[in-house]
């Protein structure tokens, strides 16, 4: 589809010029090649332009090649705002606060699982609570729930579910300081109290994979990855808790937008000045939901290790499970970036976009300081996923951000309609991939055709210089909500 008014800058960048829409304060940049551009949704382009109208935006309003229409911001959207004149918008984070991905490496190789895959996936499905309304194995008191919101994955490790090394290999060490549980609504607490340690529905999954291809041997070695190695990828977020936090604050921000006389092109961009009480309360609540999500993925990693130990009748050291990295892709964070040669503190919104910090960044674990931040990009359940690392160019051009997945090519309704009469689980099995899910509709919504080709998406960010390919991971078995 040709969208009038766009300007192609090079093979991997399209500009949404400042005059594309009235009120734009800056331009938009979409990282996309000519092939993916053919399927670019005008609504998504309009959302990129809308974000460019927001007060205090610094640099461009950006979108990654997995771009598709979202609430307020496009999914795949990145935007940074000045701390004095800028805004905070829940639409720039999304409903599933700190939806993110965790990659676990093991001592196992592909050949070791040949006769055990079905048993292992079945145990995953029985061990990890999965899907809408699923309840975790932990029963938290009100006091414990609030402690989780303040301490995130740190609390989980303190309870014996993991090690301090896991925290070192988690973004923000698995906890953002400044969460305020007292701001959280009773409804959010009710929705979240039984869901810690559970896998969400939709595109969330836990997947057994193997390292199919290595593109950068030194980087792969520093990340502890080798050819044919078994890895496990965990993709989930803050569940109903984070969804309710977002819902609660959308109402607050709608009132704030009127209070501060913002003339917004879309009510879904409801926002408040960074230094306002409304923005402060949202950030403190968002941090609580982000900490909940890191705690959630930390627990699921523990259940994964238990399944391996049970299936193979081994101890923890024999499984050799350790965390490569855990990274958020729905979050707003105050970060320091170089703008026009000067260091500035900005609030960076990433919605369906992954942080990708360059080598040498102070927030990176010592083990990855010379390599760059591991970037984990999940694909669909039938193709592949990727590991990349951050680059200096990405820091300079996209606030250290890159894509977060393949990106939907069909709506869930379209996918269900196209899958009618098909046995998606059998199609996956014919491809050598064992799938367990809570319902047929989930598999229909998540079938490979519903997504763009992740290899194509990753090639765009690689060639654009936002992040660098390290390894390709192929699925062997997956559980979905």
Name the residue ranges covered by the structural domains of the chain.
7-480
Assigned token pair, 292:
């909940």
Residue 360 has pLDDT above 80, yes or no: yes
> Buried (b) or exposed (e) across 384-394, using 16+ Cβ within 10 A?
bbbbbbbbeeb
404 is catalytic: yes
Mean pLDDT score of the chain: 94
Task: Say which DSSP state 47 is in.
Answer: H
pLDDT of residue 412: 84
Task: State how far the alpha carbon of 194 is from the alpha carbons of 73, 77, 80, 144, 197, in Å.
Answer: 30, 31, 35, 12, 9
In DSSP notation, 176-216 reads -TT--GGGS-HHHHHHHTTTTT-B-STT-EEEEEEEEEES-
Judge whether 132 and 201 are in contact, CB under 8 Å. yes
Residues belonging to the chain: 481
Asked if 370 and 333 touch (Cβ cutoff 8 Å), the reply is: no
Please tell me the distance from the alpha carbon of residue 465 to that of residue 90, in angstroms, as a whole number. Answer: 29
DSSP state, residue 217: H
Q: Which of 404, 413, 456, 462 is catalytic?
A: 404
Task: Give 132's pLDDT tier (boundaries 50, 70, 90).
Answer: low
Q: Give percent of the chain with pLDDT exceeding 70.
A: 99
pLDDT tens track for 380-415: 888 999 999 999 999 999 999 999 998 888 888 898
The pTM of the full predicted model, rounded to 2 decimals, is 0.96
Query: Of the ranges 197-211, 367-381, 425-439, which is most confident?
Result: 367-381
For position 133, what pLDDT does the model report? 65
| Helical (H) or strand (E) element with 443 | helix 440-445
Confidence check: pLDDT of 13 > 70: yes
* Homologous superfamily of the 7-480 domain (CATH): tRNA-splicing ligase RtcB (3.90.1860.10)
């Amino acid at each position: 589809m040709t969208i009038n008014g766009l300007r192609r800058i090079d093979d991997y960048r399209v500009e949404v010029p400042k005059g594309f829409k009235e009120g734009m304060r800056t331009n938009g940049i979409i990282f996309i090649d000519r092939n993916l551009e053919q399927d670019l949704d005008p609504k998504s382009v309009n959302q990129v332009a809308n974000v460019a109208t927001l007060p205090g935006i610094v640099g461009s309003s950006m979108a990654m090649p997995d771009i598709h229409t979202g609430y307020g911001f496009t999914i795949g959207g990145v935007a940074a705002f000045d701390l004095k004149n800028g805004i905070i918008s829940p639409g720039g984070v999304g409903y599933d606060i700190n939806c993110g991905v965790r990659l676990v490496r093991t001592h196992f190789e592909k050949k070791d699982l040949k006769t055990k895959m079905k048993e292992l996936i079945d145990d995953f499905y029985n061990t990890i609570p999965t899907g809408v309304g699923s309840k975790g194995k932990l029963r938290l008191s009100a006091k414990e729930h609030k402690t989780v919101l303040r301490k995130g994955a740190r609390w989980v490790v303190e309870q014996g579910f993991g090690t301090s090394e896991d925290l070192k290999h988690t973004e923000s060490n698995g906890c953002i300081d400044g969460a305020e549980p007292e701001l959280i609504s009773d409804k959010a607490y009710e929705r979240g109290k039984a869901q810690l340690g559970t896998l969400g529905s939709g595109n969330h999954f836990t997947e057994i994979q193997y390292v199919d291809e290595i593109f950068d041997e030194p980087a792969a070695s520093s990340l502890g990855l080798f050819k044919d190695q078994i890895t496990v990828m965990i993709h989930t977020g803050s569940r109903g808790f984070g969804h309710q936090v977002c819902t609660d604050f959308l109402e607050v921000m709608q009132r704030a937008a009127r209070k501060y006389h913002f003339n917004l092109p879309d009510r879904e961009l409801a926002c408040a000045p960074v230094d306002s009480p409304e923005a402060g309360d949202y950030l403190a609540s968002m941090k609580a939901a982000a900490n909940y999500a890191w705690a959630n993925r930390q627990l699921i990693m523990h259940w994964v290790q238990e399944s391996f130990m049970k299936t193979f009748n081994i101890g923890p050291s024999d499984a050799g499970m350790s965390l490569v990295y855990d990274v958020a892709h729905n979050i707003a964070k105050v970060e320091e970036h170089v703008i026009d040669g000067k260091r500035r503190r900005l609030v960076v919104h990433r919605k369906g976009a992954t942080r990708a910090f360059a080598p040498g960044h102070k927030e990176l674990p010592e083990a990855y300081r010379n390599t760059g931040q591991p970037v984990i990009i999940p694909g669909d359940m039938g193709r592949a996923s990727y590991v990349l690392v951050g680059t200096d160019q990405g820091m300079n051009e996209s606030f250290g951000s890159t894509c977060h997945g393949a990106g939907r090519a069909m709506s869930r309704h379209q996918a269900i309609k196209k899958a009618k009469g098909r046995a998606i689980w059998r199609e996956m099995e014919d491809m050598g991939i064992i799938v367990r899910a809570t319902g047929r509709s989930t598999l229909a919504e998540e079938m490979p055709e519903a997504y763009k080709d992740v290899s194509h998406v990753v090639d765009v960010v690689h060639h654009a210089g936002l992040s660098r390919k390290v390894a390709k991971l192929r699925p062997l078995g997956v559980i979905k909500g």
